Chain A
C-alpha cells in the first residue's frame, strides 16, 4: 500500500535561513506522481509542484527547489532564504497511475515557522 512519511512535525527557522522539508514515500506502482502542497494559516491548499516518477530531474522555482531521488524514495523540498510568508504547513503527497488509485495519499505535514 502507498504511504508518505514526513518525519519533521515542526521546524522553526529565522528569516533568511535555508530549510529543507523531508518526504519519504512507499509505493508498489511503477508509475506514480509526487506533489507538494502549501497550507498557509488562512487554510487553503496551494499546489506547489508535481513530479512524475519517470522524471528524476530536480527542479528550481525561485527560492524553492525540489530533490527527487528514486533510489531513496525521497522527494525533499528546500526553501532558500526563507521569509515570514513561507510560514505554513507543507504537505507531501503521492498518487499512483497503474493501480488506478488517483486519490492523493498525504503525509502528515510539516509546520514551518519562519521568525522575523
Chain B
C-alpha cells in the first residue's frame, strides 16, 4: 500500500562517514525528487530525476550524489558527512512534466550527524 517509501527512517552517524538513503515509489510516476528540511522546517529542493535522467541539480555540495537505477527508485548517497548535513530528507514523486503535477512525499529520513 505504501506509495513512497524511504529507508532508513532514522540515521545517526559520525562526522566523516558515508551514508545512503533509499527511496522507492510504487505509483508508476516518472519524476522523483529529493528535498531537505532544515532545523527551522524550511524545505528546499536538492535534486530531481525524470525517467532516470537528472533534471534539477540545485546548489548542493558535490558530496551529495543522487542515483536513479530505474524510474521507481531514487537513492541519495552522502560522502564525508558534516554536522550541517543533519536534517530531514524527503523523497517525493509525481507523474512528470505535462501531467498531473502533485508531488507525493515519503515519510522522511531523519539524519543526525554527531
Binding site for B on A (CB under 8 A): 33, 35, 37, 39, 43-47, 50, 89, 91, 93, 95, 97, 100-106, 108-109
Contacts and interface: CB of A to CB of B under 8 A. Distances in A.
Interface residues of B, number: 26
B56 interface: yes
Given A33-B101, A45-B90, A47-B102, A102 B48 contact: yes
B interface, over-half SS: strand
B31 interface: yes
Contact of A50 (B31, B40, B58, B102): B102
Interface stretch (B18-26, B59-67, B72-80, B104-112): B104-112
A102 B104 contact: no
Given A35-B102, A43-B88, A44-B107, A102 B44 contact: no
Given A50-B101, A102-B31, A103-B48, A89 B107 contact: no
Contacts of A109: 41-43
Contacts, number: 59
Interface of B: 31, 33, 35, 40-45, 48, 55-56, 58, 88, 90, 92, 94, 97, 101-105, 107-108, 110
B97 A100 contact: yes
14 contacts: A33-B101, A35-B103, A37-B105, A43-B107, A44-B105, A47-B104, A50-B101, A95-B103, A101-B56, A102-B56, A104-B35, A105-B45, A106-B44, A108-B41
Contact of B101 (A45, A91, A95): A95
Given A43-B107, A43-B108, A45-B90, A102 B101 contact: yes
Given A43-B107, A108-B40, 18 more contacts: A33-B101, A44-B107, A45-B90, A45-B92, A45-B105, A47-B104, A50-B101, A50-B102, A102-B56, A102-B97, A102-B101, A103-B45, A103-B48, A103-B58, A104-B35, A104-B103, A108-B41, A109-B41
